[in-house]
Amino acid sequence: MAANMTSADTRGSRLRWLVIAIPLAWMLIFFLIPFFNVLKISFSTRARAMPPYKPVLTMVDGLAGLFDKLQQFTAANYLMLVADSKYWLSYVSSVQIALCSTVLILLVAYPIAYGMARAPRQWRTTLVMLVILPFWTSFLIRVYAWMGILSDEGLLNQLLMHFGLIDQPLRILTTNWAVYIGIVYSYLPFMILPLYATLEKLDETLLEAAEDLGCPPMKAFWKITFPLSLPGVVAGCFLVFIPITGEFVIPDLLGGSGTLMIGKTLWYEFFNNRNWPLASAVAVVLLLILVVPIVIFQNQQQKQAEKAR
C-alpha cells in the first residue's frame, strides 16, 4: 500500500534499491550461479592437473578455441551414474532411508509436540527452549555421542548384557539401525518445533465443542486436532526429508560400508577419488531429485510468511 510513498524521494528509493540489491547479488553470486558452474563441470572429464578436470574455459582461448573446447564436453559421467549400480543404488537407498526416517521422526515427534502444547502455559517456553538447546550444540558432537553408546563395547550393549537380555554384544554401530537412530535423534527438533507451533495455536474450545456435540476424545483428535496440525506436519516433513536425503556425517560415522547414501558417495568421489566431474554429476542428479520437494517447501514457507502479515 505504501509502495509509492517514497516515489518522489529519490534518496529513499536509491536506498530501497540497495536493500534489495546487496543480498540479492550475494545470493546470485554465491548460491545460484555456482549451480550452473557445477552443471558445466559435470560434463567435463577428469584430469591430472589443478583444477582436476578439463576442459577449463578461459578468456585467452578465443572463439575457435572455445568451440574446440566445447566439443570436449561429455555426458560420460551421467552414463556412469546409470551404468554403475553403486551410484543409482545410493540414490534409491538415500530416498528410502529419508522417507522411512521422516515417518519415524513424525511418529516420535508428534506425541512430544502434543504433550508440550498441552502442558501448563508457564512451562511451555521452557519446554521449547529445552528442545532448541541440543540444536545449538554441535551436530557432529551429538552424532559422536551415539558412537559411544552404540558401539560393541558401548553403553547400550553393556546395559543389555548386564540385565542378561543378550549374551553377546549386538552389532548396531556400522549398520543401518545406527543410521536410523542417528537421523531420528539429530532431526527430531526440526519436526517438534513446527508441530508444536501449529498445535499450540489450536483453539481448545474446538475440542470442547466437538465433545459437546458427542464426539469422543480419540475421534476428536483425528477429526479436529490432526487435520488442523497438517501445516506443521507438512513443514516438518520437508524440513527433515530434504537434508536427510543428502546427509553425509551420520551415514559416514554411524553407518558401515554397506550403508549407501548419496551424500557419502559424493564425498568419497570428491575427496578420496578426486573425481570432481563425477562428484558434480552426482550433485546435479541429487538436486534434480530434490528440486520438487524444495520448491514445495519454499512455496509453503512463503505462504506462511504472507499469512502472518
Partner 1 sequence: MRRGLTWFNATSVALGFAFLYLPILLLVVYSFNESKLVTVWTGFSFRWYGALLNDKAMLDAAWVTLRVAFLSATIATVLGTLGALALVRFGRFLGRTVFSGMIYAPLVMPDVITGLSLLLLFVSLDLDRGFWTLILAHVTLTMCFVAVVVQSRLVTFDRSLEEAALDLGATPTKTFFVITLPLIMPGVVAGWMLAFTLSLDDLVIASFTTGPGATTLPMKIFSQVKFGVTPEVNAISTILILVVATGVIVASLITKRREVERQKAERLALQG
Partner 2 sequence: MAGMAIGPIRRSFAPWNDPSAKAFIEFRNVTRSFGDFTAVDNLSLKIYEREFFALLGPSGCGKTTLMRMLAGFDAPTSGEVLLDGQNLAGIPPYKRPTNMMFQSYALFPHMTVWDNIAFGLKQDGMPKADIAKRVEEMLHLVKLETFAKRKPHQLSGGQRQRVALARSLAKKPKVLLLDEPLGALDKKLREETQFELIDLQQRLGMTFLIVTHDQEEAMTVADRIAVMNHGKIVQVATPAEIYEQPNSRYVADFIGEINVLEGRVSASPSGGARLECVAAGATVETRQQVDAKPGDQAWFAIRPEKVRISRDAPADPSVNAVPGEVWDIGYLGDVSIYHVRLASGATMKATITNTTRLVERPISWEDKVWMTWSVDGGIVLTK
Q: Which one-letter amino acid corresponds to residue 42? A: S
Closer to partner 2 at the Cβ: 8 or 141? 8
Q: Are 148 and 158 in contact (CB under 8 A)?
A: no
Instruction: Check binding of 5 to partner 2 (CB under 8 A).
Output: yes
Instruction: Check binding of 23 to partner 1 (CB under 8 A).
Output: yes
- Binding residues with partner 1: total (CB under 8 A): 103
Instruction: Check binding of 212 to partner 1 (CB under 8 A).
Output: no
The residues, ordered by sequence, that sit 6+ positions from 230 with a Cβ below 8 Å of its Cβ are 198
Considering only residues 11 through 40, tell me which ones interact with partner 2, judged by CB under 8 A: 12
Considering only residues 61 through 90, tell me which ones interact with partner 1, judged by CB under 8 A: none
Kindly tell me which residue out of 271, 272, 288, 292 binds partner 1, with binding defined by CB under 8 A: 271
| Burial of 247 per CB tally in 10 Å (0-12, 13-18, 19+) | buried
Instruction: Check binding of 267 to partner 1 (CB under 8 A).
Output: yes
Kindly tell me which residue out of 102, 245, 259, 275 binds partner 1, with binding defined by CB under 8 A: 245
Instruction: Check binding of 226 to partner 1 (CB under 8 A).
Output: no
Closest C-alpha among 202, 235, 234 to residue 221: 202
Q: Which one-letter amino acid corresponds to residue 129? A: M
Using only C-alpha atoms, what is the Rg of the chain?
25
Question: What gap in Å lies between CA 172 and CA 157, rounded to an integer?
Answer: 9
Question: What gap in Å lies between CA 22 and CA 28, rounded to an integer?
Answer: 10
Q: Which stretch binds partner 2 (CB under 8 A): 5-13, 24-32, 57-65, 149-157?
A: 5-13
Closest C-alpha among 91, 123, 100, 276 to residue 196: 123
DSSP annotation of 54 = E
Considering only residues 278 through 307, tell me which ones interact with partner 1, judged by CB under 8 A: 279-280, 283, 286-287, 290, 294-295, 297-298, 301-302, 305
Instruction: Check binding of 131 to partner 1 (CB under 8 A).
Output: yes
Q: Which does 16 bind (CB under 5 to 8 A by kind): partner 1, partner 2, none?
A: partner 1
Catalog residues that contact partner 2 under the rule CB under 8 A.
1-2, 4-9, 12
